[in-house]
């Protein structure tokens, strides 16, 4: 399955969701919505988060899976957390 694009192929700007369609009844909702927070991560970071969840949040299991040290996995996770904090809306 293809991943949902998050950046404009022409200018690299952020793409917005403008329509959602019900698969059961075809009702359409239109507007301009930001992509979900996790979708705005790079495909590599999304894959890391997915593997992290599958490994029940175990940094040790992730280090084994990726063949890297525990601190390397911790640093990668910290980097992703920092990105998520930067994307959070202001109150």
Question: pLDDT at position 89, please?
Answer: 65
> What is the distance between the alpha carbons of residues 11 and 67, in angstroms, rounded to a whole number?
36
Residues 20-70: pLDDT tens digits? 999 999 999 999 988 888 988 988 999 999 999 999 999 999 999 999 999
More confident residue, 57 or 3: 57
Q: Note the pLDDT of residue 1.
A: 62
Dihedral sign, CA of 41, 46, 50, 51? negative
What's the number of CA atoms in the CB half-sphere (13 Å) around residue 64? 6
Q: pTM, whole model, 2 decimals? A: 0.73
């Amino acid at each position: 399955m293809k991943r949902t694009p998050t950046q404009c192929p022409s200018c690299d700007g952020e793409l917005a969701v403008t329509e959602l369609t019900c698969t059961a009844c075809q009702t359409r909702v239109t507007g301009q919505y930001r992509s979900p927070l996790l979708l705005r991560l790079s495909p590599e970071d999304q894959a890391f988060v997915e593997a992290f969840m599958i490994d029940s949040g175990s940094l040790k299991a992730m280090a084994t899976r990726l063949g890297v040290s525990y601190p390397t996995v911790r640093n990668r996770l910290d980097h992703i957390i920092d990105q998520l904090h930067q994307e959070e809306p202001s109150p």
